[in-house]
Structure formats: structure tokens, C-alpha cells
Amino acid sequence: MVLLGLLIAQRALISQKVTAAGDAAAPAFIRFVNLFGLDSPDLLAIPFAVTMALFLVNLFFSCIIMLRRVRGRLGAIRSFRGEEAIETLACNVTFRLAQGGGERLAGVLGRRGYRVRVRQSQETTHISAVKREAGTWGVLFFHLTFFVVMLGAAISLLTRFSGYVELSPGEAFVEKWENYRRKTDRPTLFGHDRKFSLRLEEIDLSYWRPGAVKQRASVVSAFDAGGVFLGREHIQVNNPLRIAGTSVYQGGRHGFIAGLDVGDEAGTVLHMPIVFRLADDEGGKLYQVARLPGAGLALELELFTDQLARIEGLERLGDHGGVTLIKVNTLDSLGRRQFRGPLFGGAGISFDGLTVKFVSLKPFVSFVMVRDYGIPVVFAGLALMLAGLAVTYFWVPECFWCAVVREGDAERVVMGGFAEKYHESFRERFGELVDELRRESME
């Protein structure tokens, strides 16, 4: 565990290193590690993987050892004890009862929730009474937690995948590797395409307010890999759609995609989709900068659209005259700005031998699709840990052993008790219980 901790520290600290190796401004620890050439988080990837594997093996065998110990403890508390063994307990007492008191004693313990076992011999009756014996499993649960959580982390590492897509109303997305706009590497396990499809029906921004808590949502139609309609679903930030082992989350990006055609005097036309994202702050603008390859210019664009006024909650952002236009500035290589005019929807403007046309505008919303089969295992491990803690601290086993010896017309009872925790409070309860047992067994 010490070695594992050092390797984790190396990966965590070096991965956050922003200064060059040997830089005098770097922290002392970074400079010390750089002396050994360990200035990359991936240099110790193999030792880290080996150490993790050994840690899992250690946890596996630790759980086996704990299981054997638990079974041994269960056998010990369920077993019968003789007089001498009972008298060695910290809590023990000897008293006499009338004939048949041993049977009444076992009945009293049973009515108080103890699991009673009785063994008869010629002159002695042995009684074993246990309450909450399942509490002996608490320590094993706690050890097993780490194994399950690490196993879940390993499964997550092998199966996790996330992809990002953007859709406009009416557009459909088929779940295939090449169709994602951005994606992580294909996972080692379960990395095949699911081929289900989603069609965006409408964007719901009714709960969205600039500068306030965001609640974006979308309405989609879902289809399985065979094209069978599965239903119309409302996806919110905290209410994803789960389909074919994939969780489809509402993304945080919303806005408009403007299609611009930029042509030069030679007749070359470049189609440029410009993404304008709705700003999170109250005074935010729909603003974007697009660089023109080979022209030495950049277009500084600000979108004004009457479509904003049609979205519930954003009506006041459309109070610019009810038209759709893009304010166009140019920036040269020195950063000097020059206003080129408004670009209305469907129209164009010309400057410096270039023609810019505003050919299309559509809203878009983003989705993030995630598959991770290790998460349920990790949560199962955390639940196991909580169960282990609850059992360990609140389900403490209590054991009573009695040896009832027949002596003429009476019976001599040697009784002892033991609790794994909270010994002082158990001693008080032991005395109270003995008094009650003596009274009730003699009635």
C-alpha cells in the first residue's frame, strides 16, 4: 500500500506539472523527481499496473482469510462451554434454581430474541444463546468493500466510453463510432456499436435563464438498432435516457449554427459552419471568431436572431427589431478591427475581394453518451461498505453460555456472557438480565 501510494502521488503530481523539467520555478518535489527522469505520469505505468494487480490479489486472499476467521468465530459462539470455561469470562455468575429451572431459563432467553441451543447430558444441561450473530460478518464486509470497489474501477477502465454529439431539431443520430463529433478511445471490452438512433424533436429551454441555475432539456424520439420506435422521451440534465446500455445525458451546450459561404475572386467557395453558443451570463453575446485560411483575416461575428424571441424565457433577448443578422467585423494580423456591416439572413456582403453569404441558421443542442459497466459495481462496493459499518457498530453479537447441573432437588446454574464491543454497557445489561432470569425462571 505504501508503494501504491507513492506511485499514485507520482502520477497525480507529475500530471499537474506546468513548468519545464529543471525549471528553477518548479516546486522542490518536482525538481527532485526530475533528477530521476520521472517527469512523465506514464513512465511508471507498468509498475503502477503491477502494483494494482498485486493489491487486488492481496485483497482477494485477505477476504478468504477473513472468511475463515468469521466462520471460526461463528463456530466459537455457537459452541457449548463447560463450567470452567464459563467461569473464565469477565461476566459470569453462579446461582441456584428449583428443579426444571434450566428449561425455563432457555425459554426466557428465547423470548428475549436469543437463538438458543440446548444439549443434554446425564447430569448437566448446556445452553448456548446468541443474539445478532450476523454481526460477525461486519469486518469481512468492510474488507470486501475495497476488493469490490477496485474491481469496479478495473471494469470501468476497460469499458468506459463517452461521446459528444450536437443535433438540430429534425436531425437524427445513429450510434456508431464514426458518427460522434468527439469521443474517447474505443474501450477494450464492449466497444461495439449499439446502432440505436435518436431524433431530436424539439429543444426545451423553458427553465433556462441567463445568470441563473440552468435546466436545459430536449424531446427526442428513440429507435432501436432495427429501427423500431421505442418512444418519445424528455431528457433533462439529471434525468438521462438509458438505451442499449448507454446513458444519454443532456449536454450543456445550446445555441445556433450559422452557415456562411465565403468566396474569393477566383470562384473558390468555402462553407463555414459557425457555432454560436448561448452565453451563461446575463449580458452574454452570441459571439464567435472565424479565421479565413490564406486570407490573413479573421471574421469577428455577433449573431442577432429573432428566433431567440420564440423561446420561452428568452423573449427579451429578441428585442432588436425582429430580424436575423450577423454583425461582421474583420481582424487583420495585427489585431486591428474594422466594421464591415450587417449580414442579413439569405444575403451577402463583399470586401477586400471576398464575398460572405449568410445561407442558413439552425438551433442546436448537445448530448453526451456514456457507457460504463463499472459504476454499478463501485456503488455495490460502497453499499457493502455501509452495510459493513452498520453491522460492525450497530449489530454487535451477544453470547450467553450456561451449564445447568442437577444437584438433588435443585439445579446449580453457571452462567456467563460476552459481547464483542461496548463491554461496560454489556456488563450492566448482563447483571439486569441475570436478575430478571432468576426471577422469571423461579415463577
Shared-domain flag, residues 231 and 148: yes
pLDDT for residue 14: 58
For 279-306, letters b (16+ CB in 10 Å) and e give eeeeeeebebebebeebebbbbbebbbe
Let me know whether 226 and 314 are in one domain: no
Q: How many domains does the chain have?
A: 4
pLDDT tens digits, 361-414: 888 989 999 999 988 998 988 888 888 888 877 888 888 888 888 887 778 888
Q: What is the rounded distance in angstroms from the CA atom of residue 139 to the CA atom of residue 117?
A: 25
- Determine how many CB atoms are found less than 10 A away from the CB of residue 420: 18
* 389 domain residue, yes or no: no
Residue tagged 429501427 (cell numbers) = 227
* Residues 149 and 126 reside in one and the same domain: no
95 and 57 in one domain?
no
Task: Evaluate whether residue 71 is within a structural domain.
Answer: no
- Residue 393, in any domain of the structure: no
Q: Are residues 201 and 343 in the same domain?
A: no
The answer to whether residues 262 and 314 belong to one domain is yes
In a domain, 283, yes or no: yes
Cβ proximity of 83 and 125 under 8 Å: no
Domain shared by 279 and 339, yes or no:
yes
Cβ contact 440:108 at 8 Å: yes
Domain extent, residue 101, equals 80-132+398-441
One domain for residues 330 and 239: no
With CA atoms as reference, report the closest residue to 205 among 240, 252, 257, 242: 252
> What was the pLDDT predicted at 20?
41
Q: How far apart are CA 254 and CA 365, in angstroms?
A: 5
73 located within any domain? no
Q: Show the cell assigned to 385.
A: 461498505
Shared domain check, 379 and 244: yes
Q: Residue 68: inside a domain, yes or no?
A: no
Residue 155 in domain: yes
| Residue 292 is assigned to a structural domain of this protein | yes
| CATH number of the structural domain spanning residue 419 | 3.30.310
For the residues of 170-182, what is the DSSP string, one character each?
T-EEE--GGG-SE
Do 161 and 223 sit in the same domain of this protein? yes
- Cβ atoms 354, 340 nearer than 8 A: no
Segments of the chain scoring below 70 in pLDDT: 8-45, 206-215, 280-283, 307-323, 440-443
Model pLDDT, residue 299: 92
Please indicate, yes or no, whether residues 151 and 236 belong to a single structural domain of this protein: yes
Indicate if 223 and 97 belong to the same structural domain. Answer: no
First to last CA, the chain: 60
